[in-house]
Amino acid sequence: MYEKEINKRRTFAIISHPDAGKTTLTEKFLLYGGAINLAGSVKGKATARHAVSDWMEIEKERGISVTSSVLQFEYDGYCINILDTPGHQDFSEDTYRTLMAADSAVMVIDASKGVEAQTRKLFKVCAMRKIPIFTFINKMDRDANDTFELLDEIEKELGVATCPVNWPIGSGKRFKGVYDRNKKAVMTFSDTEKGTKEGHTDVLPVDDEDKLREFIGDEACDTLLEEIELIDGASAEFNLDEVQHGELSPVFFGSALTNFGVEMFLKYFLEMTTTPLARKADKGIIDPVTNDFSAFVFKIQANMNKAHRDRIAFMRICSGRFDAGMEVKHVQGGRVMRLSQPQQMMADARHVVDEAYAGDIIGVFDPGVFSIGDTICMPGENFEYEGIPTFAPEHFARVRQLDTMKRKQFVKGINQIAQEGAIQIFQEIGSGMEEIIVGVVGVLQFEVLKYRLENEYNVDIKLENLPYEHIRWIENKDEVDVSRLTGTSDMKKIQDLKGNPLLLFVNSWSVGMVLERNEGLKLTEFGRN
């Protein structure tokens, strides 16, 4: 019905380790989309990014953004939705959940650093979903690691085959440009001139060797011709089907800061990546085009207005068209309702939407009825999308409530905050709500918890850090007698609020030991709600 609108949408997340250049690359994308006039105004670290999400006092105090946002812009006939995945200290479970709303991912890697910790974690979530992953190896204008070694590292560390779409000619001061393997042409590099979008680029067919030598020099030309032979012989053949199933990652080299290779990347990426993907529901696969409106909640943003405990629920539209004011069904709540104040983000501004399509993300006012993973569909329909997994926290603390008279507020507060998905709460097996252990993906969430309990629920707590770093859900919990599991000395048995057993470990190697000692035990890093 809305085929044209839906098929022009591309919804993706950018994943990277802090400082690899994600923000700079996003700025350059927006520049091509005409969404902003001057690169640098997306984040400007202290300004625009905050205008988007300075909802919580803590964000202002700390000068960081706790939330992730969505940017929409048009380019070359496409409607692009970029999901920002927060890094630095504000890394949280939301960062992972955002990936559940994306149809593909762009992985930005610093050419002098290679695969780093946070990229590895985010990559795992993308790989679990088998979504297409595109690699942009950034900062080629600085001295880079060996190209072959970089590709090797991605293949070995992340377990995905790579296929270079372009190939760098030198790096740092000797960076001459990239060779486009499709067009069999070299695009020469020159730094940007101040205030302009990009530097001057010449396009030289690789067959015209004399000209190539003249432009990039004999040494670079010899190396390039040798390397072309090597990669044509050794690297994986490009296969779109494998790309779209996340088995093969197309790799691009460039420099976001100098805007070199960015438009080339964007063009190839938009061609190669998928239109909004069909999503799994309990009644089968829901096709985005042939079905009426449906969506699922992937993120809840709390406390936009302290007086009202307002929340915003972010939904990914999975099928059909959304009209402001239309009646929809909240399946888990069993209620027909109108979604109020639906909003979308355009570059750095928030605005009310009248209509949106499969692939888009909208934020709606939530009076406290939605939970993460909930399904919204047409009133006549009744199905649930596959839930969003719970991601393994990496930091744990025991919570001590300071004023025992406020037990009720404490239990209510901590449960509500857990429901929004900012933290996960666990108990020692058999201890009830007396002993609560909180698990978070990023340590900032501990502060958020403390701050919110104090400010919203008037409850003071003390957090005692625990040494655990690894948590595993027991995949085959019905087949295993948890009380009889033999573990290592650093292992602790806990349960979540639904009574699912979990194991905590201080050391990662203990996970392997426990698997070895208990035959048939299956552990997983992703919990299911």
Under the rule (CB under 6 A), what is the footprint of ligand G4P? 16, 18-24, 87, 138-139, 141-142, 255-257
Q: In the bound complex, what is the minimum distance in angstroms from residue 43's beta carbon to ligand G4P?
A: 7
- Looking up tokens 């207005």 gives 305
> Measured from the CB atom, is 256 or 449 closer to ligand G4P?
256
Using the minimum distance from each CB to ligand G4P, give the nearer residue, 83 or 256.
Answer: 256
- Residue 23 or 291 with smaller CB distance to ligand G4P: 23
Q: Minimum Å distance from CB 359 to ligand G4P?
A: 24
* Bridge partners (DSSP) listed for residue 285: 280
Q: Single out the residue of 274, 168, 172, 262 nearest to residue 224, CA to CA.
A: 168
Please report how close the Cβ of residue 90 comes to ligand G4P at its closest, in angstroms: 11
In 3D space, the residue among 416, 495, 480, 405 whose CA is nearest the CA of residue 448 turns out to be 416
State CA 259 to chain mean position distance: 23
Q: Confirm if 357 and 5 have CB atoms less than 8 A apart.
A: yes
Q: Which residues, in sequence order, are CB contacts of 321 under 8 Å at separation 6+?
A: 1, 2, 5, 293, 355, 356, 357, 358
- State which residue, 122 or 437, has the beta carbon closest to ligand G4P: 122
In whole angstroms, what is the distance from residue 442 CA to residue 391 CA?
12
- Closest CB to ligand G4P among residues 86, 342: 86
The structure tokens listed for 337 are 């309702």
Sign of torsion, CA 276 280 286 292? negative
Sign of CA dihedral 241, 243, 247, 251: positive
Q: Nearest distance from residue 107's CB to ligand G4P, in Å? A: 11
State the minimum distance, in angstroms, from the CB of residue 194 to ligand G4P.
14
Q: Give me 287's structure tokens.
A: 């096709």
The nearest distance, CB 33 to ligand G4P, in angstroms, is 17
**Angstrom distance (rounded) from CA 114 to CA 234:** 21
What is the rounded CA–CA span in Å between residue 159 and residue 127? 9
Shortest distance in whole angstroms from residue 414 CB to ligand G4P: 32
Closer to ligand G4P by Cβ: residue 231 or 262: 262
Q: Residue 345, exposed/middle/buried by CB under 10 A (0-12, 13-18, 19+)?
A: buried
Residue 145 or 495: which CB sits closer to ligand G4P?
Answer: 145
Please identify, using beta-carbon distances, which residue of 21 and 527 lies nearer to ligand G4P.
Answer: 21
Q: How far is the CB of 251 from ligand G4P (least distance, A)?
A: 16
List Cβ neighbours of 195 (8 Å cut-off, separation of 6 or more): none
- Which of 378, 261, 274 minimizes the C-alpha distance to 319? 378
Q: Please say whether the beta carbons of 440 and 92 come within 8 A.
A: yes
What secondary structure, in 3-state letters, does 30-92 show? Answer: HHHHCCCCCCCCCCCCCCHHHHHHCCCHHHHHHCCCCCCCEEEEEECCEEEEEEECCCHHHCC
Which residue lies nearer to ligand G4P by CB, 16 or 162? 16
Q: Which is nearer to ligand G4P, 18 or 501 (CB)?
A: 18
For residues 423 and 413, the answer to whether their CB atoms sit within 8 Å is no
**Cβ proximity of 295 and 356 under 8 Å:** no
In the bound complex, what is the minimum distance in angstroms from residue 141's beta carbon to ligand G4P? 5
State which residue, 111 or 286, has the beta carbon closest to ligand G4P: 111
Smallest separation (angstroms) from ligand G4P to the CB of 416 = 32
Element (H, E) at 413: helix 407-420
Min CB(255)–ligand G4P separation in Å: 4
* Pairing verdict, β 424-428 and 470-474: unpaired
